[in-house]
A and B are shown apart, each in its own frame.
Chain A
């Protein structure tokens, strides 16, 4: 047994880099993944192309995941540590004149925005994209090109945001950008446009990554891996994905409204024009509070992987843990107004939000004691990852306790916007999120580099960070209670706050070298670290059965899973029922010409389909360029550029989704099915495509719901609605549009039916759907054009145009989808077996009809119904 080798500490220098198989760190007692002679061929098949072109077209999950991690970490150094260092220098002494108020506002805005949007999120999405296929026993993420798109938009959004420094227009209204301070009157320059547009681009990337993660966890698993055999990291990322969808979408809608107000004269947040500054706060915090748990849940997923491996015990109370994760995910959507306890909400509303904010402590406590009970029954291996685990537990508990305190409304009236809250949130986000992030990096580093990180440097790294965090952030609680508000660049000497601020600033001097040691450790270990075998920690989950680093395709023969810790419970990773074994072995030898991935049933993990996953492509990059082009041209007030960007996106998305010529004939597919009982889709999945469309429609519905909430919020703030002198909307138009949409959905459905029944009619059906949809759009647009009020007349006109515009965009998407499908239908590409795009087009038309009908009900009918 060599698994205790790491106890000896670092290898002497002369052994560094020695490529000696006997010297590597490994636990040989666990089973390994089966490799076949086809492994090399599969590896080459799944690899990205070489050279610069290869870098631009890369879609492989390892590449994308590592890029996200590195870029997220780069932004952490820039916006997380550099900014805070300068801020702490400024606040170290009272009446300090080191930097002025302008720079200070920019620094704290940047610090909050970057860490919340550009650091934690991409790092955890990077973890997920890198790890999930290996952990779940799959070969890829379901939409490699979407993953690439997520990375490019995130990177470009971050760069667009940071480019504000070049234009000396750095955002300066706080990471929450409260209106009206962030509105066109009080922030007339481009600063806030950089904030909205740069981060908006990154938010698009976050949602794209979330879609990819949700479907990967639900559908791309090993045979036999039922939901309750999934490692908890997968559960955490599943809940994370849905939360991102439900939280970021309202934020994107809110940001859109803010930009319409800033750049186009709309009124949503301007009092006096029927707007409400509180509407922005609602839209922002419906995102903003779940965001905290969006960051925290993946961290608990990481801890739930690292901790069992370190104490040699499976997690205690797996079911409790899953229930806690789901519970936190849901409850976190009823907490947002606890950021608004002082704005003058109705008393009972305060109580609603206080109760939700307190109840969420129960699932959090379940998690804590599940981990503690796991440690209790296990035997601790004092390795660096475990130090970070213990550091996390002890720090996060304090943040959780102060969290319940600030949920108590009256106490929050004192604590809110004081340094007490600054202390609280850093205990939660550094203790609860950053420390697990480090635990995860120390833990998985050997898997993806083949080398161990240094234990000696790791311990220094931990202790410096841990001490630094507490020295920096604990005094903030006290100084907050002594009356120090947040976001002040200076404070008077007679305030009594000086000593606490000085201690906080000194703490940063511990954190920074801690971070520095981490970088040194990563670099040195990458170059000279001890060799790691497949399973250096003796862990129990699937990724540790693969070689370190794993091949591009991860699993030559997909594993068959009987347990949530298969490496501990199974003697062999590839035995199961005869059918399962036959299937996984077949996948190891066949097909070697295209990238085959197994889809399993959501609940039970039984094979459902084998499909061809997308390969390298430059179109995600071009789509991302189009996206950032739209946002950048809005910054430059070059409106034609936005049209060009939209056209580029449309074109690139069409090209991105052009199907490859099928790699197999239908007969070959049927032969395989007859032998293995699992359908093969060499032309692209049906199941996964349906899931993707379903999630896309969910996204559109959430966006629609956000618009509707905004509409009715403005409605109840304005007693006269529509405003005086504005005619009520036209009912005949409304009926006409709805009828056309129903006709579009029905004709598309007719076409699909004809195709599946082997009759003619698909072309006619799709063509009719396109015409009816276009007519509906035309009628709606004409009505909008001829309205007696404009988009900048009162918030009524603004929200009317915004929501109708959203409906037109949905129609446009459905139309473009329908048109490309029609093109392929005319070319005779679809058969009763290969019909996925038709299927999705029909669903898109149905979804669009529902959304348009909803829009019509809200805009055209509600003024009559709500008098």
Chain B
């Protein structure tokens, strides 16, 4: 049976990797937290399969046993003594043994999870908003949105909090989920074995656009993580074209900057909204629905509610020229 499990396991791992390099599956673990859980799962799966087959076979034998016979059964008769043995053996002792096994492996995994991370673990503050994730590195003075960049191979301590309703931070390939609450900070320790991109999602229903609150965790090797941090620390790019400069003016004039911060141009903060200082270097906008490329940005700004109904970003009436300018500016924010 163990061999069977191993085969099923490898099949699952294969099936779970398809999707364009972004790993999404809990059965294709890429970090130690997820791997611990995957180990636990295969034990549970093995035991569960055994129980299911056992009950199935016994039930099958029971219904077949006297089905065809015409022997009269006296309804007043008592059960044979073996029925009590069945109840005691298969109903009490067997389950008790299995439960003790399951409980022991559960507690063992919980113990491993409860270990404190390395003292020099990188701390990342992640704050859930309707419907995007604010990500900041308190020790590195860097912040971004919907992307958590981490160095591979080291512990990272995620400090989770919500600015509004309850959200849940879930990167199946790296770890189990943890809720982001408005009233207290939860921590989750993750690590990634290798550089790569791992899909994450909000797992707690948080309103109309719960489905589109995706993010990614990007693991880098040490050098490229340093480079990423340095790039984030750089001030926002100045528009290199006339149209871009016009866009920057529009950005302030039409009020974008009252919510969205752009380093050196606008402080944002009236309502929570993603920091746009390095917008064009991010993979996606609108909670994963669109890319941060020119055409997608244009689609988005022209009518955000058509793309993501219920989104809190207001419609801003812009002419085509104004749109062109604004998109040109945003595209320059690399």
Tell me the A611-643 residues at the B interface (CB within 8 Å).
none
Q: Establish whether residues B62 and A376, one from each chain, have CB atoms under 8 Å apart when the complex forms.
A: yes
- B110 interface neighbour in A376, A377, A409, A495, Cβ under 8 Å: A409
Q: Establish whether residues B27 and A482, one from each chain, have CB atoms under 8 Å apart when the complex forms.
A: yes
Tell me the A120-174 residues at the B interface (CB within 8 Å).
172-174
Q: Establish whether residues A417 and B168, one from each chain, have CB atoms under 8 Å apart when the complex forms.
A: yes
Q: Establish whether residues A343 and B25, one from each chain, have CB atoms under 8 Å apart when the complex forms.
A: no
Q: Which residue of B lies closest to A413 (CB)?
A: B176
Most buried by B among A359, A378, A413: A413
- A375 interface neighbour in B63, B77, B92, Cβ under 8 Å: B63
A299 to B179, CA, bound (A): 34
Tell me the A316-339 residues at the B interface (CB within 8 Å).
316-317, 320
A411 to B92, CA, bound (A): 24
CB of A396, distance to nearest CB on chain B (Å): 10
**0/1 string, A511-547, CB within 8 A of B gives 1:** 0000000000000000000000000001010000000
Stretch from B15-23, B222-230, B231-239, B273-281 that touches the partner: B15-23
Q: Establish whether residues A398 and B52, one from each chain, have CB atoms under 8 Å apart when the complex forms.
A: yes
Q: Establish whether residues B103 and A358, one from each chain, have CB atoms under 8 Å apart when the complex forms.
A: yes
Q: Establish whether residues B87 and A369, one from each chain, have CB atoms under 8 Å apart when the complex forms.
A: yes
A410 to B37, CA, bound (A): 6
**0/1 string, B205-222, CB within 8 A of A gives 1:** 111111110000000000
A393 to B58, CA, bound (A): 11
Q: Establish whether residues B90 and A410, one from each chain, have CB atoms under 8 Å apart when the complex forms.
A: no
Tell me the B73-105 residues at the A interface (CB within 8 Å).
73, 75-80, 82-84, 86-87, 90-92, 94-96, 99, 102-103, 105
Assuming the contacts A354-B106, A485-B202, asked whether A401 and B86 have C-beta atoms less than 8 A apart, the reply is no
| A365 cross-chain contacts in B, Cβ below 8 A | 90-92, 94-95
Q: Establish whether residues A372 and B59, one from each chain, have CB atoms under 8 Å apart when the complex forms.
A: yes
Q: Establish whether residues A317 and B87, one from each chain, have CB atoms under 8 Å apart when the complex forms.
A: yes
Q: Establish whether residues A414 and B177, one from each chain, have CB atoms under 8 Å apart when the complex forms.
A: yes
Q: Establish whether residues B175 and A413, one from each chain, have CB atoms under 8 Å apart when the complex forms.
A: yes
Q: Which residue of A lies closest to B45 (CB)?
A: A405
Tell whether B310 is near chain A: CB-to-CB under 8 Å: yes
A108 to B28, CA, bound (A): 30
Q: Establish whether residues A408 and B102, one from each chain, have CB atoms under 8 Å apart when the complex forms.
A: yes
A565 to B164, CA, bound (A): 59
A724 to B68, CA, bound (A): 79
CB of A308, distance to nearest CB on chain B (Å): 9
Tell me the B284-310 residues at the A interface (CB within 8 Å).
288, 309-310
Tell whether B138 is near chain A: CB-to-CB under 8 Å: no
Most buried by A among B51, B56, B106, B202: B106
A412 to B110, CA, bound (A): 11
Q: Establish whether residues A361 and B95, one from each chain, have CB atoms under 8 Å apart when the complex forms.
A: yes
Q: Establish whether residues B178 and A342, one from each chain, have CB atoms under 8 Å apart when the complex forms.
A: yes
Q: Establish whether residues A380 and B205, one from each chain, have CB atoms under 8 Å apart when the complex forms.
A: no
Most buried by B among A368, A369, A373, A374: A369
Tell whether B186 is near chain A: CB-to-CB under 8 Å: yes
CB of A38, distance to nearest CB on chain B (Å): 32
Assuming the contacts A368-B91, A490-B211, asked whether A481 and B26 have C-beta atoms less than 8 A apart, the reply is yes
Q: Establish whether residues A100 and B164, one from each chain, have CB atoms under 8 Å apart when the complex forms.
A: no
A375 to B60, CA, bound (A): 10
Stretch from A178-186, A741-749, A753-761 that touches the partner: A178-186
A494 to B164, CA, bound (A): 30
Tell me the B34-54 residues at the A interface (CB within 8 Å).
34, 36-37, 40-41, 44-45, 48, 51-52
CB of A100, distance to nearest CB on chain B (Å): 5
CB of A30, distance to nearest CB on chain B (Å): 9
| A380 cross-chain contacts in B, Cβ below 8 A | 63, 66-67
Q: How many A-B residue pairs have CB under 8 A?
A: 279
- A413 interface neighbour in B77, B178, B209, Cβ under 8 Å: B178
A377 to B48, CA, bound (A): 27
Q: Establish whether residues B24 and A186, one from each chain, have CB atoms under 8 Å apart when the complex forms.
A: no
A358 to B177, CA, bound (A): 21
Q: Establish whether residues B166 and A277, one from each chain, have CB atoms under 8 Å apart when the complex forms.
A: yes
Q: Establish whether residues A369 and B176, one from each chain, have CB atoms under 8 Å apart when the complex forms.
A: no
A180 to B103, CA, bound (A): 34
Q: Which residue of B lies closest to A397 (CB)?
A: B55
Tell whether B109 is near chain A: CB-to-CB under 8 Å: yes
| B209 cross-chain contacts in A, Cβ below 8 A | 101
A491 to B79, CA, bound (A): 54
Tell whether B183 is near chain A: CB-to-CB under 8 Å: yes
Q: Establish whether residues A313 and B26, one from each chain, have CB atoms under 8 Å apart when the complex forms.
A: no
CB of A232, distance to nearest CB on chain B (Å): 14
Q: Which residue of A lies closest to B20 (CB)?
A: A494
Interface residues on B, range: 35 or more
**0/1 string, B251-268, CB within 8 A of A gives 1:** 000000000000000000
A342 to B178, CA, bound (A): 5
**0/1 string, B102-132, CB within 8 A of A gives 1:** 1101110110011000000000000000100
Assuming the contacts A181-B206, A408-B44, A409-B106, asked whether A540 and B75 have C-beta atoms less than 8 A apart, the reply is yes
- A342 interface neighbour in B15, B58, B179, Cβ under 8 Å: B179
Q: Establish whether residues B203 and A485, one from each chain, have CB atoms under 8 Å apart when the complex forms.
A: yes
Size of interface on A: residues with Cβ below 8 Å to B:
91
Stretch from A344-352, A430-438, A668-676 that touches the partner: A344-352
| B195 cross-chain contacts in A, Cβ below 8 A | none
CB of A276, distance to nearest CB on chain B (Å): 6
A181 to B165, CA, bound (A): 5
| A178 cross-chain contacts in B, Cβ below 8 A | 165-166, 204-205
Most buried by A among B26, B73, B113: B26
Tell whether A486 is near chain B: CB-to-CB under 8 Å: yes
Tell whether B31 is near chain A: CB-to-CB under 8 Å: no
Tell whether B319 is near chain A: CB-to-CB under 8 Å: no
CB of B79, distance to nearest CB on chain A (Å): 5
Tell whether B181 is near chain A: CB-to-CB under 8 Å: yes
Tell whether A505 is near chain B: CB-to-CB under 8 Å: no
Q: Which residue of A lies closest to B206 (CB)?
A: A181
A407 to B309, CA, bound (A): 36
Q: Establish whether residues B183 and A277, one from each chain, have CB atoms under 8 Å apart when the complex forms.
A: yes
**0/1 string, A730-755, CB within 8 A of B gives 1:** 00000000000000000000000000
Q: Establish whether residues A344 and B19, one from each chain, have CB atoms under 8 Å apart when the complex forms.
A: no
Tell whether A449 is near chain B: CB-to-CB under 8 Å: no
Q: Establish whether residues B48 and A271, one from each chain, have CB atoms under 8 Å apart when the complex forms.
A: no
**0/1 string, A385-418, CB within 8 A of B gives 1:** 0000010011001100110110111111110111
Q: Establish whether residues A366 and B182, one from each chain, have CB atoms under 8 Å apart when the complex forms.
A: no
CB of B237, distance to nearest CB on chain A (Å): 30
| B110 cross-chain contacts in A, Cβ below 8 A | 347, 350-351, 409-410
Tell whether A483 is near chain B: CB-to-CB under 8 Å: yes
Q: Which residue of A lies closest to B211 (CB)?
A: A488
Tell me the A466-512 residues at the B interface (CB within 8 Å).
481-483, 485-492, 494-496
Most buried by A among B84, B86, B87, B207: B87
Q: Which residue of B lies closest to A410 (CB)?
A: B109
CB of B171, distance to nearest CB on chain A (Å): 9
CB of A484, distance to nearest CB on chain B (Å): 9
Q: Establish whether residues B37 and A405, one from each chain, have CB atoms under 8 Å apart when the complex forms.
A: no
Assuming the contacts A485-B201, A490-B211, asked whether A362 and B95 have C-beta atoms less than 8 A apart, the reply is yes
| B113 cross-chain contacts in A, Cβ below 8 A | 410
- B59 interface neighbour in A361, A375, A378, Cβ under 8 Å: A375
| A375 cross-chain contacts in B, Cβ below 8 A | 59, 62-63, 65
| B27 cross-chain contacts in A, Cβ below 8 A | 481-482
Tell whether A382 is near chain B: CB-to-CB under 8 Å: yes
| B36 cross-chain contacts in A, Cβ below 8 A | 410
10 nearest CB pairs, A to B: A413-B176, A488-B211, A271-B183, A373-B83, A369-B91, A344-B186, A316-B83, A366-B91, A181-B165, A365-B95
16 of the cross-chain contacts (CB-CB < 8 Å) are A186-B130, A312-B75, A313-B73, A317-B84, A342-B176, A365-B95, A372-B58, A375-B62, A380-B63, A397-B55, A401-B52, A407-B106, A410-B106, A414-B26, A417-B177, A482-B24
Given pairs A365-B94, A410-B176, A414-B177, 11 additional interface contacts (CB within 8 A): A277-B181, A344-B184, A365-B91, A368-B91, A373-B86, A375-B59, A390-B59, A409-B106, A416-B176, A482-B26, A486-B205
